[in-house]
Amino acid sequence: MRVNFTVNGRPQEADDVWEGESLLYVLRERLGLPGSKNACEQGECGSCTVRLDGVPVCSCLVAAGQVEGRDVVTVEGLADYARQRSCGTAAGTSLDEAKGWQAKGTDSQTGEGTELSPIQQAFIDAGAVQCGFCTPGLLVAADEMLERNPNPTDADIREALSGNLCRCTGYEKIMDAVRLAAARQSEGV
C-alpha cells in the first residue's frame, strides 16, 4: 500500500508498504530517517518516540497505514520544531535567543550550522548521552514535557520520562539535562 504523510514539515510518500509495517519501520527503512530507534518494538522502551499530530507516541506501535494524512515529528526535526515553537510564541524565545543555546566554543568544520534545540544541547552539556540509543526518544519526550510544563519538579520529570528506558546512564545525567534545559528556558523567556 501507499502512505502519504508529513514528516518534520515535509510531505512524504512511502510506496509498497507491507500492511503490517510500523511507522517506525517506514521512517527508518523507507524514508531514510533512522533517528527513531528500534530497541524493543513493543512499546516498553520509548526509543522510537515521535510526535504524531503533536502527541508523543511509540512509533513502533503505530501501523504505517494509520499515519495517512497525519503529521509526524522525529528527532531529526526536533531542532526545527523547537525553533518554530520559540518563534511562534508571543512571549517566547526569539530566534536569536534560541541560537544562544549553541554549543559553547563550537568551531565546527563540517558540523557547521548544526542548530540544536535547547533540550538537545542540554543533553550534550550535562553528559546525558552515552551509547545514545535511548537519546532520540528521550529528547522527543523531554521536549514535549517542557512544552507543557516549563518548570517541572523532579518527580514530574521522572513521571514524564518513565516510558523511556536508558541502560547506560542511571538517568542522573538525564535528570540534570532536563533541569538544565528548563533553567535555560526560563532564563531565556
Which residues ranging from 58 to 117 are in contact with other proteins (CB under 8 A)?
58, 60-63, 65-66, 68, 74-76, 78-79, 103-112, 114, 116
Residue 14 beta carbon to other proteins: minimum distance, rounded to whole angstroms = 13
Three cell numbers, residue 105: 566554543
Phi, psi of 79 (to 5 degrees): -65, -45
Nearer to other proteins, 88 or 105 (CB): 105
Least distance (Å) from other proteins to the CB of residue 71? 13
CA distance 8 to 76: 8
Cα-based distances in Å from 80 to 9, 75, 135: 9, 10, 17
132 binds other proteins (CB under 8 A): yes
118: nearest Cα among 101, 139, 137: 101
Minimum CB distance to other proteins smaller for 67 or for 93: 67
Shortest Å, Cβ 137 to other proteins? 8
Which helix (H) or strand (E) segment holds residue 68: the answer is none
Q: Which is nearer to other proteins, 169 or 185 (CB)?
A: 169
Q: Which three cell numbers stand for residue 114?
A: 548544526
CB of residue 84 to other proteins, shortest distance in Å: 16
- Closer to other proteins by CB, 28 or 184: give it: 28
Cell numbers placing 136: 532520540
